[in-house]
Amino acid sequence: MDYMADNVFISHSSQDKPVADAVCAALERASIRCWIAPRDVQPGRSFAGEITRAIQHSQVMVLIFSASS
């Protein structure tokens, strides 16, 4: 994956996945590229490593913060 092409990293709890997916979809409809787990975690790669790389290469982080976080 070309991490440099992702403008926004979306951080969320698994319990908040429906909200995070809706935020991601809205941003992508506006032509803003997003990185969101688990969708963008490459098969066979370390989940934590992929998240770390995505954070380092994203320009903005959106945090979905709730009681589940």
Domain count, the chain: 1
| 27 lies in some domain | yes
Whether 69 maps to a domain, the answer reads no
Domain that holds residue 44: 3-63
- Helix or strand holding residue 43 (H, E): none
pLDDT at residue 4 is higher than 50: no
Residue 68 lies in a domain: no
Any domain includes 48: yes
Work out the number of other CB atoms within 10 angstroms of the CB of residue 6.
Answer: 20
- The string over 21-56, giving b where at least 16 C-beta atoms fall within 10 Å of a residue's C-beta and e elsewhere, is eebbeebeeeeeebbbbeebbeeeeeeeebbebbee
Given a cut of 80, whether residue 5 has pLDDT beyond it is no
pLDDT in tens, 15-53: 999 999 999 999 999 999 999 999 999 999 999 999 999
Q: Domain holding 42: CATH number?
A: 3.40.50.10140
Nearest to 64 by CA among 15, 16, 5: 16
pTM value is: 0.86
Q: Are 32 and 7 in contact (CB under 8 A)?
A: yes
